[in-house]
Amino acid sequence: MKITGQKAQVFIDSFNDSSIINGNGNNTTKENKKYFVIDKADNSNIPVVKGTFFIAPQTGQQIELQEGDRLFEINEERFCKTNASFEFSFGSVDVGDDCDAGATISDGILKLSGSLAGLFRYDDETQDFDNVTDIIVNRFLDIVEDNGDGSYELFPRTDNQVYMLTLLNSGGKSGQTENWLFVPINITSMSMSLGNADAQNKDLSFSKGEGQAIVYKVPVK
């Protein structure tokens, strides 16, 4: 079976302090929530290594968090893409000698980069940017919100970590497997096109940020 790129759905969230969960021995994960593991206690029950991602149990008992566990709860926002691409590569080390001229081995360092293209999206009622557009624009520009009555709020440009989740095969039925690609990313560039006869769009380039990129498989309930 083959499926089209349209079946792949991209979700983005940005790191913020309010979404950090510190374990205390009495709190637990929340059903079906997605988490990035910042740190783990020595006696942690968290099932994956520090610097990666997991989804809390969809049913049944949740994971008890110990003192020293630190999680970031990912509240993913849909990035409605028109195109997306990923490139994975390793460097190589020359190990050639006179017995095996030209031989190389992998340096073991994963390089991951890619691009996303999508349209600028506005809230139908307020005409404000949607949340994903705000997250992306704020990587490059300060945002000032003026409420019109003399109150102003500044959101300085931020380099906070961005987390990207791509559901490769959306639309699965109960009992089938969802395949998620999780990548912590650093958005390196953004371009905008505002042609009179075209939809407003944004093109992004990214590279891997801090943490591990993984494929995560989970059944559809």
The pLDDT assigned to 87 comes to 96
Indicate the SS3 state at residue 4: coil
The pLDDT assigned to 42 comes to 94
The pLDDT assigned to 17 comes to 85
Dist CA 90 CA 110 (whole Å): 5
pLDDT tens for 194-209 read: 999 999 999 999 999 9
Dist CA 177 CA 3 (whole Å): 14
Domain annotation for the chain: domains and CATH numbers:
5-14+75-219 (2.40.30)
Are the C-beta atoms of 70 and 39 separated by less than 8 Å? Answer: yes
Q: Can you read off the two tokens belonging to residue 21?
A: 């969960």
Q: What is the mean pLDDT of the chain?
A: 93
H-helix or E-strand spanning residue 146: strand 143-146
The pLDDT assigned to 152 comes to 96
The pLDDT assigned to 30 comes to 95
pLDDT at 221 over 90: no
Are the C-beta atoms of 154 and 144 separated by less than 8 Å? Answer: yes
CA nearest neighbour of 180 among 216, 208, 221: 216
Dist CA 23 CA 149 (whole Å): 42
Q: Can you read off the two tokens belonging to residue 184?
A: 């912590």
Dist CA 212 CA 168 (whole Å): 18
List CB contacts of 152: < 8 A, sequence separation 6 or more: 144, 145, 146
The pLDDT assigned to 156 comes to 95
The pLDDT assigned to 178 comes to 95
Are the C-beta atoms of 91 and 111 separated by less than 8 Å? Answer: yes
Are the C-beta atoms of 188 and 136 separated by less than 8 Å? Answer: no
Considering only the C-alpha atoms of the chain, give the largest distance between any 2 of them, rounded to a whole number of Å.
79
pLDDT at 137 over 90: yes
pLDDT tens for 28-65 read: 999 999 999 999 999 999 999 999 999 999 988 999 99
